[in-house]
A = this chain, B = another copy of it.
Amino acid sequence: MSTYQRIVLASRPQGDVTPDNFRLETVEIPAITDGQVLVRNHYLSLDPYMRGRMSDAKSYAAPQPLNETMIGGTVGEVIASNNPKFAVGDFVVGMFGWSEIGVSDGALLRKVDGKVIPPSAYLGAVGMPGMTAWYGFNHILKAKPGETVVVSSASGAVGSVVGQLAKLKGCRAVGIAGGGEKCDYVVNTLGFDACVDYKAGNLEGDLAAATPDGVDAIFENVGGAVFDAALARTNAFARVALCGMIAGYNGEDIPLRNARLLLTNRITVQGFIVTEHLDLWPQGLSELGGLVATGKLQFRESVADGLAQAPDAFIGLLKGKNFGKQLVKMI
Protein backbone atom coordinates (compact mmCIF):
# COMPACT_ATOMS: atom_id res chain seq x y z
CA MET A 1 0.00 0.00 0.00
CA SER A 2 1.69 3.19 -1.14
CA THR A 3 -1.35 5.42 -1.53
CA TYR A 4 -4.40 6.25 0.59
CA GLN A 5 -7.68 8.07 0.21
CA ARG A 6 -8.82 11.32 1.75
CA ILE A 7 -11.74 13.68 1.25
CA VAL A 8 -11.27 17.42 0.88
CA LEU A 9 -13.76 20.27 0.92
CA ALA A 10 -14.29 21.10 -2.75
CA SER A 11 -16.77 23.94 -2.32
CA ARG A 12 -18.85 25.60 0.37
CA PRO A 13 -22.51 24.63 0.54
CA GLN A 14 -25.19 27.05 -0.60
CA GLY A 15 -27.94 25.90 1.74
CA ASP A 16 -28.07 22.11 1.92
CA VAL A 17 -24.82 20.18 1.81
CA THR A 18 -24.49 18.20 -1.42
CA PRO A 19 -22.09 15.42 -2.42
CA ASP A 20 -20.23 17.72 -4.80
CA ASN A 21 -19.10 19.87 -1.87
CA PHE A 22 -16.59 17.06 -1.29
CA ARG A 23 -13.85 15.49 -3.41
CA LEU A 24 -12.26 12.09 -2.86
CA GLU A 25 -8.52 12.11 -3.56
CA THR A 26 -5.90 9.39 -3.74
CA VAL A 27 -2.52 10.51 -2.47
CA GLU A 28 0.89 9.07 -1.65
CA ILE A 29 1.57 7.84 1.86
CA PRO A 30 4.37 10.10 3.12
CA ALA A 31 7.58 8.86 4.71
CA ILE A 32 7.70 9.72 8.41
CA THR A 33 10.57 11.69 9.88
CA ASP A 34 12.13 11.63 13.32
CA GLY A 35 9.57 11.77 16.13
CA GLN A 36 6.64 11.07 13.82
CA VAL A 37 4.13 8.27 13.77
CA LEU A 38 2.07 6.92 10.89
CA VAL A 39 -1.49 5.94 11.76
CA ARG A 40 -3.94 3.81 9.81
CA ASN A 41 -7.33 5.20 10.77
CA HIS A 42 -10.02 2.61 11.49
CA TYR A 43 -12.96 4.93 12.17
CA LEU A 44 -13.85 8.50 11.32
CA SER A 45 -16.40 10.34 13.45
CA LEU A 46 -19.05 12.41 11.67
CA ASP A 47 -20.49 15.21 13.77
CA PRO A 48 -22.88 18.14 13.26
CA TYR A 49 -20.21 20.72 14.10
CA MET A 50 -18.58 19.94 10.75
CA ARG A 51 -21.45 21.68 8.98
CA GLY A 52 -20.50 24.94 10.66
CA ARG A 53 -16.90 24.61 9.58
CA MET A 54 -17.93 24.14 5.95
CA SER A 55 -19.28 27.70 5.89
CA ASP A 56 -17.14 30.76 6.17
CA ALA A 57 -19.61 32.60 8.43
CA LYS A 58 -18.16 33.93 11.67
CA SER A 59 -18.20 31.19 14.28
CA TYR A 60 -16.21 30.02 17.25
CA ALA A 61 -13.81 28.14 15.02
CA ALA A 62 -12.01 29.00 11.83
CA PRO A 63 -13.70 27.68 8.70
CA GLN A 64 -12.49 24.48 7.08
CA PRO A 65 -10.11 25.55 4.30
CA LEU A 66 -11.08 24.62 0.76
CA ASN A 67 -9.12 21.82 -0.91
CA GLU A 68 -7.80 20.53 2.39
CA THR A 69 -8.71 17.35 4.24
CA MET A 70 -12.06 17.71 6.00
CA ILE A 71 -11.67 18.06 9.74
CA GLY A 72 -12.71 15.13 11.91
CA GLY A 73 -11.93 12.91 14.84
CA THR A 74 -10.42 9.49 14.17
CA VAL A 75 -9.34 6.38 15.95
CA GLY A 76 -6.68 4.16 14.39
CA GLU A 77 -3.65 1.98 14.80
CA VAL A 78 -0.01 3.02 14.68
CA ILE A 79 1.56 1.27 11.68
CA ALA A 80 5.00 2.92 11.81
CA SER A 81 6.68 4.92 14.54
CA ASN A 82 9.78 7.05 14.93
CA ASN A 83 8.47 8.25 18.27
CA PRO A 84 9.47 6.37 21.46
CA LYS A 85 6.09 7.11 23.04
CA PHE A 86 4.20 5.09 20.43
CA ALA A 87 4.65 1.52 19.28
CA VAL A 88 3.30 -0.19 16.20
CA GLY A 89 -0.07 -1.65 17.17
CA ASP A 90 -1.00 1.12 19.61
CA PHE A 91 -4.50 2.51 19.20
CA VAL A 92 -4.66 6.30 19.09
CA VAL A 93 -7.41 8.90 18.97
CA GLY A 94 -6.61 11.98 16.92
CA MET A 95 -7.99 14.58 14.59
CA PHE A 96 -6.69 13.22 11.31
CA GLY A 97 -9.87 14.17 9.46
CA TRP A 98 -11.63 12.39 6.61
CA SER A 99 -8.56 10.37 5.76
CA GLU A 100 -7.40 6.77 5.86
CA ILE A 101 -3.92 7.77 6.98
CA GLY A 102 -2.55 10.29 9.43
CA VAL A 103 0.93 11.54 10.28
CA SER A 104 1.64 13.20 13.61
CA ASP A 105 4.44 14.12 15.98
CA GLY A 106 2.28 12.58 18.68
CA ALA A 107 1.58 15.78 20.57
CA LEU A 108 -2.18 15.72 20.00
CA LEU A 109 -2.62 11.95 19.95
CA ARG A 110 -4.24 10.11 22.84
CA LYS A 111 -3.31 6.46 23.29
CA VAL A 112 -6.34 4.31 24.14
CA ASP A 113 -6.98 0.76 25.22
CA GLY A 114 -8.75 -0.93 22.35
CA LYS A 115 -9.33 -4.20 24.21
CA VAL A 116 -11.62 -3.38 27.14
CA ILE A 117 -13.59 -0.82 25.16
CA PRO A 118 -14.08 -1.12 21.39
CA PRO A 119 -11.94 1.49 19.61
CA SER A 120 -14.95 3.16 17.94
CA ALA A 121 -16.37 4.07 21.37
CA TYR A 122 -13.54 6.57 21.78
CA LEU A 123 -15.25 8.61 19.07
CA GLY A 124 -18.60 8.39 20.83
CA ALA A 125 -19.53 7.68 24.42
CA VAL A 126 -15.92 7.82 25.59
CA GLY A 127 -14.93 10.62 23.25
CA MET A 128 -15.99 14.09 22.29
CA PRO A 129 -19.75 13.38 22.19
CA GLY A 130 -19.64 11.67 25.57
CA MET A 131 -17.60 14.52 27.03
CA THR A 132 -20.10 17.01 25.60
CA ALA A 133 -22.88 15.19 27.42
CA TRP A 134 -20.84 14.82 30.62
CA TYR A 135 -19.80 18.47 30.73
CA GLY A 136 -23.23 19.87 29.94
CA PHE A 137 -24.99 17.57 32.37
CA ASN A 138 -22.59 17.94 35.29
CA HIS A 139 -21.36 21.50 34.88
CA ILE A 140 -24.32 23.35 33.38
CA LEU A 141 -27.52 21.44 34.15
CA LYS A 142 -26.38 20.32 37.62
CA ALA A 143 -29.58 18.32 37.88
CA LYS A 144 -30.59 16.95 41.24
CA PRO A 145 -32.26 13.59 41.91
CA GLY A 146 -35.96 13.80 41.18
CA GLU A 147 -35.66 16.64 38.69
CA THR A 148 -36.90 16.24 35.12
CA VAL A 149 -34.28 16.49 32.37
CA VAL A 150 -35.37 16.85 28.73
CA VAL A 151 -32.90 15.83 26.02
CA SER A 152 -33.37 16.42 22.31
CA SER A 153 -31.71 14.17 19.72
CA ALA A 154 -32.08 11.64 22.50
CA SER A 155 -30.95 8.65 20.46
CA GLY A 156 -27.85 10.43 19.17
CA ALA A 157 -24.26 10.22 20.32
CA VAL A 158 -24.58 13.09 22.80
CA GLY A 159 -28.22 12.89 23.83
CA SER A 160 -28.08 9.18 24.60
CA VAL A 161 -25.30 9.78 27.12
CA VAL A 162 -27.07 12.77 28.70
CA GLY A 163 -30.19 10.76 29.43
CA GLN A 164 -28.27 7.82 30.86
CA LEU A 165 -26.25 10.15 33.11
CA ALA A 166 -29.55 11.69 34.22
CA LYS A 167 -30.95 8.27 35.10
CA LEU A 168 -27.78 7.34 37.00
CA LYS A 169 -28.25 10.59 38.94
CA GLY A 170 -31.82 9.71 39.88
CA CYS A 171 -33.53 12.19 37.56
CA ARG A 172 -36.54 11.68 35.33
CA ALA A 173 -35.09 11.54 31.80
CA VAL A 174 -37.36 12.49 28.91
CA GLY A 175 -36.05 12.24 25.36
CA ILE A 176 -37.18 13.84 22.15
CA ALA A 177 -36.35 11.91 18.98
CA GLY A 178 -37.60 11.50 15.42
CA GLY A 179 -39.63 8.35 14.83
CA GLY A 180 -41.07 5.47 16.78
CA GLU A 181 -38.07 3.21 16.33
CA LYS A 182 -35.70 5.76 17.86
CA CYS A 183 -38.12 6.43 20.71
CA ASP A 184 -38.44 2.71 21.46
CA TYR A 185 -34.67 2.48 21.67
CA VAL A 186 -34.43 5.55 23.91
CA VAL A 187 -36.89 4.10 26.42
CA ASN A 188 -36.28 0.36 26.19
CA THR A 189 -32.53 0.17 25.63
CA LEU A 190 -31.20 3.43 27.05
CA GLY A 191 -33.67 3.43 29.94
CA PHE A 192 -35.13 6.93 29.61
CA ASP A 193 -38.46 7.31 31.42
CA ALA A 194 -40.21 8.56 28.28
CA CYS A 195 -39.49 9.67 24.74
CA VAL A 196 -41.53 12.00 22.55
CA ASP A 197 -41.55 11.44 18.79
CA TYR A 198 -41.47 14.94 17.33
CA LYS A 199 -42.51 13.53 13.96
CA ALA A 200 -45.81 12.28 15.38
CA GLY A 201 -47.33 15.74 15.06
CA ASN A 202 -48.24 16.49 18.67
CA LEU A 203 -44.92 17.63 20.10
CA GLU A 204 -46.25 20.09 22.67
CA GLY A 205 -49.04 17.87 23.93
CA ASP A 206 -46.91 14.74 24.04
CA LEU A 207 -44.11 16.55 25.84
CA ALA A 208 -46.57 17.93 28.39
CA ALA A 209 -47.83 14.42 29.05
CA ALA A 210 -44.28 13.13 29.45
CA THR A 211 -43.31 15.88 31.91
CA PRO A 212 -46.13 15.96 34.46
CA ASP A 213 -43.95 17.81 36.96
CA GLY A 214 -42.58 20.29 34.41
CA VAL A 215 -38.99 20.53 33.22
CA ASP A 216 -36.02 21.50 35.37
CA ALA A 217 -33.21 21.04 32.88
CA ILE A 218 -32.92 20.95 29.09
CA PHE A 219 -30.03 19.58 27.10
CA GLU A 220 -30.64 21.16 23.72
CA ASN A 221 -29.20 19.70 20.53
CA VAL A 222 -31.80 20.82 18.01
CA GLY A 223 -33.24 24.31 18.51
CA GLY A 224 -36.35 25.72 16.85
CA ALA A 225 -39.74 24.16 17.58
CA VAL A 226 -38.21 21.38 19.68
CA PHE A 227 -36.48 23.88 21.95
CA ASP A 228 -39.60 26.05 22.15
CA ALA A 229 -41.68 23.09 23.25
CA ALA A 230 -39.24 22.17 26.00
CA LEU A 231 -38.96 25.79 27.21
CA ALA A 232 -42.74 26.00 27.43
CA ARG A 233 -42.63 23.23 30.05
CA THR A 234 -39.94 24.73 32.27
CA ASN A 235 -40.26 25.21 35.99
CA ALA A 236 -38.75 28.17 37.80
CA PHE A 237 -34.95 28.22 37.82
CA ALA A 238 -34.61 25.73 34.98
CA ARG A 239 -31.20 25.38 33.35
CA VAL A 240 -30.50 24.94 29.64
CA ALA A 241 -27.28 23.52 28.27
CA LEU A 242 -27.19 24.77 24.70
CA CYS A 243 -25.11 22.27 22.81
CA GLY A 244 -26.38 22.29 19.25
CA MET A 245 -28.80 23.89 16.85
CA ILE A 246 -28.97 21.30 14.11
CA ALA A 247 -32.44 22.65 13.16
CA GLY A 248 -30.63 25.54 11.54
CA TYR A 249 -27.60 23.74 10.22
CA ASN A 250 -27.66 25.56 6.92
CA GLY A 251 -27.02 28.86 8.63
CA GLU A 252 -30.55 30.24 8.67
CA ASP A 253 -31.74 32.09 11.78
CA ILE A 254 -33.22 29.84 14.44
CA PRO A 255 -35.72 31.90 16.37
CA LEU A 256 -36.56 31.19 19.95
CA ARG A 257 -40.27 31.86 19.94
CA ASN A 258 -40.94 33.15 23.40
CA ALA A 259 -37.90 34.69 25.04
CA ARG A 260 -40.07 36.06 27.83
CA LEU A 261 -40.12 32.56 29.35
CA LEU A 262 -36.42 32.95 30.10
CA LEU A 263 -37.37 35.86 32.31
CA THR A 264 -40.63 34.70 33.86
CA ASN A 265 -39.16 31.32 34.76
CA ARG A 266 -35.74 32.77 35.72
CA ILE A 267 -34.02 30.37 33.35
CA THR A 268 -30.29 30.20 32.80
CA VAL A 269 -29.25 29.33 29.24
CA GLN A 270 -25.61 28.57 28.60
CA GLY A 271 -24.05 27.86 25.25
CA PHE A 272 -20.87 25.82 25.40
CA ILE A 273 -18.18 24.13 23.36
CA VAL A 274 -16.66 21.13 25.08
CA THR A 275 -13.20 21.59 23.60
CA GLU A 276 -12.89 24.78 25.67
CA HIS A 277 -12.96 22.72 28.85
CA LEU A 278 -10.09 20.34 28.18
CA ASP A 279 -9.01 20.46 31.83
CA LEU A 280 -12.07 18.35 32.66
CA TRP A 281 -11.56 15.72 29.98
CA PRO A 282 -9.36 13.36 31.97
CA GLN A 283 -11.96 13.15 34.76
CA GLY A 284 -14.89 12.91 32.37
CA LEU A 285 -13.34 10.33 30.05
CA SER A 286 -12.31 8.23 33.02
CA GLU A 287 -15.86 8.22 34.37
CA LEU A 288 -17.40 7.54 30.95
CA GLY A 289 -14.87 4.77 30.23
CA GLY A 290 -15.74 3.15 33.54
CA LEU A 291 -19.44 3.27 32.77
CA VAL A 292 -18.98 1.75 29.31
CA ALA A 293 -16.62 -0.95 30.57
CA THR A 294 -19.11 -1.98 33.25
CA GLY A 295 -22.09 -1.96 30.92
CA LYS A 296 -23.83 0.96 32.62
CA LEU A 297 -23.65 3.19 29.58
CA GLN A 298 -25.17 1.87 26.35
CA PHE A 299 -24.38 3.27 22.96
CA ARG A 300 -25.38 2.58 19.40
CA GLU A 301 -23.50 3.22 16.17
CA SER A 302 -24.49 3.89 12.57
CA VAL A 303 -21.51 2.73 10.54
CA ALA A 304 -20.91 3.69 6.92
CA ASP A 305 -18.59 1.36 5.08
CA GLY A 306 -15.60 3.00 3.46
CA LEU A 307 -14.41 6.58 3.24
CA ALA A 308 -16.20 7.12 -0.09
CA GLN A 309 -19.50 6.81 1.80
CA ALA A 310 -18.64 9.63 4.21
CA PRO A 311 -20.36 12.47 2.28
CA ASP A 312 -23.67 10.60 2.04
CA ALA A 313 -23.45 9.55 5.67
CA PHE A 314 -22.76 13.12 6.71
CA ILE A 315 -25.68 14.48 4.70
CA GLY A 316 -27.89 11.84 6.31
CA LEU A 317 -26.66 12.84 9.76
CA LEU A 318 -27.72 16.45 9.18
CA LYS A 319 -31.19 15.19 8.29
CA GLY A 320 -31.43 12.87 11.29
CA LYS A 321 -31.20 9.69 9.19
CA ASN A 322 -28.52 8.17 11.39
CA PHE A 323 -29.51 6.14 14.41
CA GLY A 324 -26.85 6.48 17.07
CA LYS A 325 -23.31 7.71 16.69
CA GLN A 326 -22.44 8.14 13.00
CA LEU A 327 -19.11 6.60 12.06
CA VAL A 328 -17.26 5.73 8.90
CA LYS A 329 -15.32 2.46 8.97
CA MET A 330 -12.18 2.70 6.88
CA ILE A 331 -10.57 -0.70 7.26
Residues of A participating in the B interface, judged by any CB pair closer than 8 Å: 52, 58-60, 223, 227, 236, 242-245, 248, 253-260, 262-273, 276
Contact = CB atoms under 8 A, between A and B. Distances in A.
Contacts of A269: 262, 267-270
Given A258-B254, A259-B227, A271 B276 contact: no
Most B CB within 10 A of own CB, among A52, A253, A266, A271? A271
15 contacts: A242-B263, A243-B263, A245-B263, A253-B258, A253-B260, A254-B258, A255-B255, A255-B259, A262-B269, A262-B271, A263-B272, A265-B271, A266-B271, A267-B269, A268-B268
A260 B265 contact: no
A60 B254 contact: no
Number of copies of this protein chain within its complex: 2
Nearest to A270: B268
A255 B260 CA distance: 8
A253 B267 CA distance: 16
Most B CB within 10 A of own CB, among A59, A227, A242, A244? A242
Nearest to A268: B270
B264 A59 contact: yes
Contacts of A262: 242, 269, 271
A71 B236 CA distance: 22
A206 B269 CA distance: 27
Contacts of A223: 259-260
Given A223-B259, A257-B253, A259-B256, A60 B265 contact: yes
A270 to B, nearest CB: 5
A271 B237 CA distance: 9
Contacts of A263: 242-245, 271-272
Nearest to A238: B271
A260 to B, nearest CB: 5
The 5 closest A-B pairs by CB, nearest first: A263-B271, A256-B259, A256-B256, A269-B269, A262-B271
A267 B256 CA distance: 15
A163 to B, nearest CB: 20
A267 B269 CA distance: 8
Given A60-B236, A236-B60, A264 B271 contact: yes
Contacts of A258: 253-255
Contacts of A268: 268-271
Contacts of A260: 223, 245, 248, 253-254
Contacts of A272: 263, 266
A31 B257 CA distance: 51
Contacts of A243: 263
A300 to B, nearest CB: 25
Given A245-B259, A264-B271, 7 more contacts: A59-B264, A255-B256, A255-B258, A256-B256, A263-B272, A267-B271, A269-B270
Contact of A266 (B227, B248, B256, B276): B276
Nearest to A269: B269
Contacts of A245: 259-260, 263
A266 B255 contact: no
